[in-house]
Amino acid sequence: MPGDCMLNVITEKSQDVLILRCRGRLVAGEGAWTLYNTVISQQNERALVLDMRGVNRVDARGLGVLVFLNQWATGAGVRLALMPSKPVRELLDLTKLHSLFEICSPESIPSDAALMSSPAGGKALKADAA
């Protein structure tokens, strides 16, 4: 299907957190650039969640973009959390990069939004690590 080839990103505000819902393939080419440009344009936000549950494929370029965006967010003072799909989680586990990211669950977003906006919030979105 043509829709499965491209990465679509839809933004949604939930209290103090901007959620970027991603669908499709995070692969070299337009998909990787779509995510990169969308996240970088959110530099005025304090907390972002990349909801990757709709991502059905990720390659090395897509993984590289995720790692870069995580580093960018740290430098820009933006808290970035990841809600991975099964393919994203498997690649993070395989490459042992899982620990670089704050991983969150869908249930944690509304309840932790207030903590995310507070300076003492710490890694509030690391809800599914238990």
Please report the pLDDT score of residue 14 as a whole number.
83
pTM tops 0.95, yes or no: no
Instruction: Give, to the nearest 10 degrees, the angle between helix 30-40 and helix 60-76.
Output: 10
Instruction: Give, to the nearest 10 degrees, the angle between helix 60-76 and helix 86-94.
Output: 80
**pLDDT of 4 over the 70 cut:** no
User: How far, in Å, CA of 116 to CA of 95, rounded?
Assistant: 28
**Which residues make beta-bridge pairs with 13?**
18
**What is the CATH code for 2-129?**
3.30.750.24
Q: Between these two residues, 107 and 35, which has the higher pLDDT value?
A: 35
Place of tokens 């870069």: 68
**pLDDT of 83 over the 50 cut:** yes
Band of residue 114 on the pLDDT scale cut at 50, 70, 90: very low
Please report the pLDDT score of residue 15 as a whole number.
82
Domain spans of the chain, in order of start: 2-129
Please report the pLDDT score of residue 108 as a whole number.
78
Neighbours of 13 (CB within 10 A): 10
CA nearest 9: which of 51, 60, 46? 51
